A and B are shown apart, each in its own frame.
Chain A
Amino acid sequence: MAPTPNWLRRRAPRPAAATDALWEICPSCSERLYRKDLDQRLRVCPKCGYHFRIGSLERIALLADGNFQELAELLITADPLKWVDRMPYPQKIANDRAKSGVLEAVVIGLCAIDGIEVGLGVMDFAFRGGTMGGVVGEKITLLIEECARRKLPLVIVAASGGARMEEGMISLMQLAKTSAAVERYSHLGLPFVSVLTDPTTGGVSASFGFQADVIIAESGAAIGFAGRRVIDQTIRQKLPEGFQSAEFLLDKGQVDMVVRRPDLKQAIADVLRFLTDRAASA
């Protein structure tokens, strides 16, 4: 992977579980992979091309040129519903923090991608399944507003199971809030590129995920409105092969391109450069 930028080293260390294993098994082709080698290859299986999920910090290291100026990094959730299921919501949040090494399911900030200054938001599936509650909605909105203020392009990398159940309707209202921010931003003539990674479903795909000017799907990502579990339990019908995969969505006309992880940074940069090049539009 790219050399770790300074800000990343300042972050909480990755949890032990993610760093201890020397070998990992590819869930797609069952190949036994040397972890360091897999990391070198951006966690894409060298044998079958399967893309392992990666965290928001790894993703930022992959996309940002070097420095990443994080915004609203200390924003953490309250417990508005006093939610308890198998355990209290604050306990779940504490576990997710330990597991993911991030404080919430999205990291936002300013950086350059191949020399182009952007506002970048990256979601983290390891934190509560990347679900959007008050903090995620707030951080996405802050990022969009900051991009509007600074006249910067906007790039959001989604990875989310949808709206966060534990914050109830406050979560659902984040779809409205982020959509309003995208709508306002869309009048400024600045590009918004959405990158959908594994998995992107529910409230995130049904709001800013699919509101971008250009939508890139990472190879192999599962993308849709209803998660497979909900579809299974509702229609009890066998789902077709490759249903809701990035490639399936490309075929159905729902995304602009499917890109493999090693090519992702370049693909984003190419789109941004075309859309922001003043000389070209003169």
Chain B
Amino acid sequence: MNVIVELEKPLTELEAKIDGLKKLNETQRVDFSGEIRALEDRAHQLKLEIFSNLTPWQRVHLARHPKRPLALDYLGALKGFTELHGDRMFRDDPAIVAGFAFLEDVPVFVIGEQKGRDTKENLFRNFGMPHPEGYRKAQRIMRLAEKFNRPLLTFVDTPGAYPGIGAEERGQSEAIATCLRISAGLRVPIVVNVTGEGGSGGALAIGLGDHIVMLQHSVYSVASPEPAAAILWRDSSKAEEAAERLRLTSDELLEFGIVDEVIPEPLGGAHRAANAMIRKVLSADRLALASLMRLSPDELVDRRYEKYRRIGSQAELVHDRAAR
């Protein structure tokens, strides 16, 4: 169960009541505007109480909120999105969606990790956990973007690559490793959007780029809290503790230089103003592309190399002679 959905229940009920009153106000002769205003004040108070001081674990759940805009919501908001399917080798992986579209005036290729909103959708999308064939579909799209000189937009939202038998048999490691190598050398601009949760190599596989945008309440970590806890304490039920230690929030990642831009969300999360949020993200992408598209392919690839070269580089490390 999503802890935020639980936490915001009184607020959701209150909001439903306000909506009901508003409808009555429109259709009946009685004026409810006073009551509505009072309830709206109360809702605002409640929102402040619930969302002002979220713990890292609650933020993980906000990032996983079932109503949060998902990859296809962003792709659908682009002009003329056409989905392209399949890896040409095994099957079409529904956990990764891809295709082409127009970002305002710019033709772009797009790749996103797609979760579902309910159990049925999630079973189809495998909870947004791609198999190797999903990453190989992503590789196809990356190569198309380069061949046809179109920038690439990606939308990261996955707890991680799927840890299962078939995925291992078909080379999950190789599939991710090859995504990383292709995107490191791709001769067109790549703008990455971390829109929900980013977990581990399965997120980074489509998350290596020139400009990394993160939504304020998204989370991004070396492993999602559950597998991190399994690794650290051999116990995935300690996920809450792992979330506190992983430093997975957008403000911390901006500070560490892991992401380049954080897009603020309305109080209570992106889903409370989904359309406005999607527009904000896409215009940030358009702005980032404006400057990246001025660079030559060589400049782009060199700049990308240096961007990652700096993270955990010698300058930050200690040369310890005393240790010997």
Q: Which residues of A contact B (CB under 8 A)?
A: 12, 72, 74-78, 80-81, 83-85, 97, 103, 133-135, 137-138, 141-142, 161-165, 167-177, 179-180, 182-184, 186, 201-203, 205-211, 223-227, 229-231, 233-235, 237, 239-240, 243-244, 252-254
Contact = CB atoms under 8 A, between A and B. Distances in A.
Contacts of A141: 309
B30 interface: no
Given A209-B173, A240-B165, A75 B256 contact: no
**What secondary structure prevails in chain B residues at the interface with A?**
helix
A135 B320 CA distance: 12
A207 B180 contact: yes
Contact of B185 (A184, A205, A208, A235): A184
Contact of A225 (B168, B182, B231): B168
A105 B220 CA distance: 25
Given A179-B184, A229-B234, A252-B171, A78 B316 contact: yes
B318 interface: yes
A80 B315 CA distance: 13
13 contacts: A75-B319, A78-B318, A134-B317, A176-B308, A179-B180, A182-B181, A203-B200, A206-B161, A206-B205, A230-B231, A235-B163, A254-B171, A254-B174
B64 interface: no
Contacts of A237: 164-165
A83 B245 CA distance: 7
Given A75-B319, A85-B232, 20 more contacts: A74-B321, A75-B314, A76-B320, A84-B245, A135-B317, A138-B312, A141-B309, A162-B231, A163-B200, A168-B246, A175-B201, A176-B180, A176-B208, A179-B184, A183-B181, A183-B184, A225-B176, A226-B161, A229-B234, A239-B165
Contacts of A170: 256, 258, 311-312
B222 A138 contact: no
Nearest to B236: A233
Contacts of B170: 252
B47 interface: no
Contacts of A164: 222
Interface string B244-259: 0111100001001010
A252 B167 CA distance: 11
B52 interface: no
Interface residues of B, number: 61
Contact of A165 (B174, B228, B253, B313): B228
Contacts of A211: 177-178, 180-181
B317 A76 contact: yes
A103 B323 CA distance: 8
A163 B222 contact: yes
Given A206-B172, A231-B163, A171 B184 contact: no
Nearest to A184: B305
Contacts of B200: 163, 172, 202-203
Interface string B144-177: 0000000000000000010111011111111011
Nearest to A83: B245
B217 interface: no
A76 B173 contact: no
B223 interface: yes
A254 to B, nearest CB: 5
A137 to B, nearest CB: 6
Given A163-B200, A211-B177, A226-B163, A137 B230 contact: no
Contacts of B167: 225-226
Identify the 4 closest CB pairs spanning chains A and B, nearest first: A134-B312, A226-B163, A179-B180, A225-B172
A83 B124 CA distance: 38
Given A76-B323, A163-B222, A207 B177 contact: yes
Contact of A180 (B171, B232, B308): B308
A205 B132 CA distance: 14
Nearest to B200: A172
B258 A169 contact: yes
A168 B222 contact: yes
B201 A203 contact: yes
